[in-house]
Structure 1
Amino acid sequence: MSMWTKHHKKRKLGRFVMPLITVAFLSYFGYHSIHGDFGLIATEEFERQRGERQAELDQLTERRKALELQVSLLSDGSMEKDILDEKARYELNVSRADEIVIFNSYFD
């Protein structure tokens, strides 16, 4: 009984397959680590937006504190007549002819 064996020639292309797959794999993930949705560029943009929104939050917090102070002056049960008069004049932009008007950011 004779035995059949197959002999394969070693291909020159065969030794480049694994390095090509490795390069393709590293290129794909390398690109997405920089340009992807969670990559370095997206992270920088997120940090920029976070800084802008933090500044906006700080500004709104200061505005809220000013409004809370204004409300406390108007609603503590002992609303002063001059505070009510001052607020009404400011909102309606009204003054008497003999008055000097000085604007500040008290009611803003």
Structure 2
Amino acid sequence: MSTRHRKKSLIRPLLLPLVALLFSAYFAWHGWHGAFGIEARRVLDTEAARLEAIKAELKAERSEIEKRVALLRPQSLESDMLDERARNILGFAQPNEIVIYKSATQAAVNKK
């Protein structure tokens, strides 16, 4: 009777841990750099913060415009506001009159 003796291989015991390590590295890399990874989340959070700041600015601007529009409504018509708009739009200011605007944005809008 003959028996076969195999020589112990160095690769065979390391094969399963090596494959497991490669799979782990693959998923870790995609977890960090992938389309839904940590890096993409950081970029989205930065973009969301920037857009929230723009949203706050636009809300403040809209609130200011709504206040000015409310002053021109027939129910609450303010004569000073009507006089200011008529002078600005129609150019009815006298040469010796000085017009002082409340804000820089209002002055920029009125110059157009």
Cα distance change on mapping 1:90 and 1:24 into 2, 3 Å? farther
Partner in structure 1 of residue 94 of structure 2: 96
Partner in structure 2 of residue 3 of structure 1: none
TM-score (norm 2): 0.74
Partner in structure 2 of residue 36 of structure 1: 34
Q: Deviating runs (4+, > 6 A) in structure 1? A: none
> What letter is aligned with 2:12?
G
For the aligned residue pairs, the C-alpha RMSD in angstroms reads 2.6
Structure 1, unmatched stretches of 5+, are 1-5
Q: 2:84 aligns with which of 83, 86, 103?
A: 86
Structure number with the higher helix fraction is: 2
> When the two structures are aligned, how many residues end up with a matched partner?
103
- Higher RCO, Cα 8 Å, sep 6+: 1
Structure 2, unmatched stretches of 5+, are none
3-state secondary structure, aligned to 2:72: helix
Cα distance change on mapping 1:57 and 1:17 into 2, 3 Å? same
Report if aligned partners of 2:32, 2:38 keep a CA contact under 8 Å in 1.
yes
* Residues in 1 aligned to 2:45 and 2:85: alpha-carbon distance in whole angstroms: 41
* Residues in 2 aligned to 1:78 and 1:47: alpha-carbon distance in whole angstroms: 43
1:68 aligns with 2:66: yes
